[in-house]
Chains A and B, each alone.
Chain A
Amino acid sequence: MMPHHSPLIKRSILAIIMMFAFSFCMVPLYNALCKATGIDGKGLLQQDSQYTAGIDVSRLITIEFDSNVQPSLNFLFYPSTKKAKIHPGEPYTLYYHMNNLTSDLKIVQAIPSVAPPVGSKFIKKLECFCFQYQDFYPYQSLMMPLRIVIDPELPSYIHTLTLSYTLFDLSSHS
């Protein structure tokens, strides 16, 4: 009986193993797709220091700055400005205030996210503190610069962009 069934059983087991592997392949696939299309509001970690564009004075975009801290991390973290109205193509600079409230050496990184997510590829960063890890001595406080330009190619239906940073504790990872 068994040899009669075995080709089919072998194929089924192979299919099961492949689907189990596929579920793990979805992780890099998802990340690659999100990076290629910028649809998850992430992918803002690259620097465009040479970026220039003509200023589009006909439009004024409201840009909101938001900050969050990972709940287990005792840090102060907030932007110098909550909201600004800027023309596309016009560079804008602000500062983020970070303060280590713990008595430990901390390594942190701020991870950006943009709402609406499609807006993420239209925010060009000339300079950002989010590109690298930050070392903080106990109770150290820092002002970190952020310099951005909004790409004039930003779709016309977008009037407001929210740039949010979440500060994560990487001390245990490094």
Chain B
Amino acid sequence: MDSNTQTASTGLLRWVTTTNHKDIGTLYLIFSFTMFLVAGLMAMIMRAELYQPGEHLMNADFYNQMVTLHGLIMIFGAVMPAFTGLANWMVPLMIGAPDMAMPRMNNFSFWILPVAFGILLSTLLMKGSAPNFGWTFYAPLSVKGPASTDYFILFIHLSGISSIMGAINIMVTIMNLRAPGMTYMKMPIFVWTWLITSYLLIAVMPVLAGVVTMLLADRHLGTSFFNAAGGGDPRLFQHIFWFFGHPEVYIMILPAFGIISEVIPTFARKKLFGYSSMVYATGAIAMMSFFVWAHHMFTSGMPLEGALFFMYLTMLVAVPTGVKVFNWVATLFKGSLTFETPMLFALGFIIMFTIGGLSGLMLAIAPADFQYHDSYFVVAHFHYVLVPGAIFAIFSAVYYWLPKWTGKMYSSVLSQTHFWLSAISVNLTFFPMHFLGLAGMPRRVPDYSLQFVDFNQIVSIGGFIFGLSQVFFLFVLYRNVTKGTPVGAKVWEGAHGLEWTVPSPAPHHTFDQPPLLEQEAD
């Protein structure tokens, strides 16, 4: 990158003032991995406490703070910025744009994040306690929450503003800066999924901002949005929150679908099966996400007609998702498969995300949900779609594009060790949680009955191995930078797309002239 650097500042200030999409993408990815380790450490603290029944290492209140911060940081600090970072790095390269549409806003939207998370983490040092009501901050618990709840509200506002600015930037880049001849239906799938994700972000992040604003008003301005004593309704909170919350879970998985749809064709050496059905399926999932929110609330009470409506609509989401899984499998079918590290993570994604999807269908059944609700079964479900789902897809993307970023190939032995350690330990961690939940262990508890000890110890050991495997990933990265072997422009011989036409490492400025699309037609 050095030969091509044309920034005004050098040293650390370069990173603060940069408006280059590759620099900002790198910053996003480093930040998100840092937050991944921080929130992962909190998960380790929880698993240490849950290694044996009884309150040994911490009191219940500190445990609740760990639950809350782990969820908030993983969602808003690890998964979402990682996808935004990948979009920053790759979207301009994939559509042949010289940079993002609004480079200065890009810089601003990144640098809000460290401030927001500094505010959130500072609550751990405050008198009273950090937020301790879970990442869903249900009213009235959060209305009566500790004083640090106001910092939490500020954090949500800041990270929401950052997400919205990132989404506008990505959307405008995709819609306005595509290379001549790249029509919408010729865009790489990763770009498509991010375009749809940016619409979702613009639609629902303001709703999250609205609900925390109501919470703030209830806490300090004497309003009664959620306070029954003043004529409000705590259940209203759940409706508004999940109206944001359900599209939010698709925000965290649609870009992952895009990544897998890039990686699988490369290592199967076939074109993606059913490109247009992939696009329509992504759009359908995004649309449906607005009409299924109350499946999080079956036990909060709703009329039979409501429960049936949300139950059937939720099950319907499995149709476009099934189309995607079918297309991936059909792409693999009769392909010339090789199992490089990105492919391993992608295959792991398909298998384990499907497990998470199936437990999601079980939870969608309203009468069954009364049994599963607030049990470890739910924890198993959403960790299966988020860890071997979203996070494996992010690792797949990183291993897929890392040689493009650093210009060097990583060690296949080390990276595959990282994959196998992660894949085995992730199942060791989250699969027994299904059984714990079905046997009746409630979630968000620091203590449990004696019959759950064995499975909890397996889960904790699996969790520690998974945590250490991610530290090992740092070593893989270090060895890549120090000892990697140089690669050419086209890193993977089965890969297609404009990003493989620029040299590796990608120069600081690319596509100053729009590329000719014909060269890439195959």
Q: CB within 8 Å of B: which residues of A?
A: 1, 4-5, 8-9, 12-13, 15-17, 19-20, 22-24, 26-27, 30-31, 34, 37, 39-41, 70, 111, 117-118, 166, 168-169, 173
Contacts and interface: CB of A to CB of B under 8 A. Distances in A.
Contact of B225 (A4, A16, A27, A111): A27
Contacts of A40: 233, 235, 301
B340 to A, nearest CB: 38
Nearest to A116: B301
A20 B207 contact: yes
Contacts of B176: 4-5, 8
Given A4-B176, A8-B175, A26-B236, A117 B303 contact: yes
B171 interface: yes
B210 A20 contact: yes
B202 interface: yes
Contact of A23 (B175, B207, B233, B306): B207
Contacts of A118: 303-304
Contacts of B214: 23-24, 27
A118 B303 CA distance: 7
B351 interface: no
A104 B202 CA distance: 51
A26 B243 contact: yes
Contacts of A117: 301, 303
Contact of A8 (B164, B171, B303): B171
A164 B63 CA distance: 34
Contact of B206 (A8, A9, A20, A30): A20
A15 B206 CA distance: 9
B230 interface: yes
Contacts of A70: 229
Contacts of B243: 23, 26
A174 B176 CA distance: 56
A41 B235 CA distance: 12
Contacts of B206: 16-17, 19-20, 22-23
Interface in B238-276: 239-240, 243
A97 B210 CA distance: 41
A22 B206 CA distance: 9
A16 B206 CA distance: 6
Nearest to B164: A16
Given A9-B172, A27-B236, 20 more contacts: A1-B101, A5-B172, A8-B172, A16-B205, A16-B206, A17-B206, A19-B202, A19-B204, A20-B207, A22-B210, A23-B209, A26-B236, A26-B240, A26-B243, A27-B214, A27-B225, A40-B235, A40-B301, A41-B301, A166-B228
Interface of B: 101-102, 164, 168, 171-172, 175-176, 202-207, 209-211, 214, 225, 228-230, 233, 235-236, 239-240, 243, 301-304, 306
B372 to A, nearest CB: 21
A111 B227 CA distance: 13
A41 B303 CA distance: 10
A30 B233 CA distance: 10
A24 B209 CA distance: 10
A8 B171 CA distance: 9
Contacts of B172: 5, 8-9, 12
B239 A30 contact: yes
A34 B102 CA distance: 44
Contacts of A8: 171-172, 175-176
A42 to B, nearest CB: 8
Interface centre among B229, B240, B303 (most CB of A within 10 A): B229
Contacts of B304: 118
A19 B306 contact: no
B228 A111 contact: yes
A117 B304 CA distance: 10
Nearest to B175: A8
Contacts of B306: 39
Contacts of B204: 19
A141 B264 CA distance: 75
Contacts of A19: 202-204, 206-207, 210
A13 B230 CA distance: 33
Contacts of A173: 230
25 contacts: A8-B171, A8-B175, A8-B176, A9-B102, A12-B172, A13-B168, A19-B206, A19-B210, A20-B206, A20-B210, A22-B210, A26-B240, A27-B214, A27-B225, A30-B239, A31-B233, A34-B233, A37-B303, A39-B302, A39-B303, A40-B233, A41-B301, A117-B301, A166-B228, A168-B229
